[in-house]
Structure 1
């Protein structure tokens, strides 16, 4: 798997013309199953882009 630069969240949001609020709404869709101590997989977050 190709290593991606994951520390450019703000840049990607600007490139995609998205807001922090939009990202929070998307995360609400994947975080509830993870609230029992299971960490959200970074790959799930990256799929949003």
Structure 2
């Protein structure tokens, strides 16, 4: 299975760059790059801030097919 990074996908979907995210969070762009390549992961406080900045439910940062997951929950 292909290794998909949710943060990287969400940045593309929201038409934002990793540089923009780094500026918003006050972190080095290299840090965000590491998050986007799975070299390291943001801590919980940064995950919450990322979800707010990208206007997504925090679970969307973790669940690969979040929208499909939500739809399956609605049909139960």
Where on the TM-score scale, by shorter chain, does this alignment land: which range? 0.3 to 0.5
Higher relative contact order (CA 8 A, sep 6+): 2
TM-score by length of 2: 0.33
- The structure whose Rg is larger is 2
Q: TM-score, normalised on structure 1?
A: 0.46
